[in-house]
């Protein structure tokens, strides 16, 4: 990930393919989703970008839980993940 040119992409590629297949199946069935993202910051935006992409593709809300960087979502909670989940439950 960070200059590791020896990374073996085979497992990562299989997981990405499984995610794409699952999302395609949900789309075919007209499933309703909500994306809940916890703790993803802007320093390494991979998870944030994925969450935003899926939310846009499915026209579904993105709920971003992050005590310092919750901006850019339909619902942003400035809380840690455990604290936010305790309030939700």
Decide which of 30 and 6 is more confident. 30
pLDDT confidence of residue 79? 96
Cβ–Cβ < 8 Å for 31, 20? no
Nearest to 54 by CA among 81, 12, 16, 9: 16
Q: Which of 81, 78, 73 is nearest to 55 (CA)?
A: 73
Q: Count of CB atoms within 10 A of residue 85's CB?
A: 13
* pLDDT tens readout for residues 23-74: 999 989 988 889 999 999 999 899 999 999 999 988 999 999 999 999 999 9
| Residue 1 pLDDT exceeds 70 | no
pLDDT at 2 over 70: no
| 84 compared with 4, residue with greater pLDDT | 84
For residues 56, 15, 41, 26, the Cα torsion angle rounded to the nearest 10 degrees is: 30
Question: What pLDDT sits at residue 18?
Answer: 97
pLDDT (average), residues 3-18: 86
Token pair for 44: 């390494």
């Amino acid at each position: 990930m960070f200059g590791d040119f020896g990374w073996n992409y085979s497992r990562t590629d299989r997981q990405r393919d499984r995610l794409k297949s699952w999302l395609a199946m949900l789309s075919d069935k007209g499933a309703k989703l909500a994306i809940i993202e916890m703790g993803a910051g802007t320093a390494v935006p991979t998870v944030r970008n994925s969450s935003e992409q899926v939310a846009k593709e499915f026209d579904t809300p993105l709920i971003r839980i992050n005590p310092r960087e919750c901006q850019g979502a339909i619902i942003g909670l400035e809380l840690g993940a455990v604290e936010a989940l305790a309030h939700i439950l």
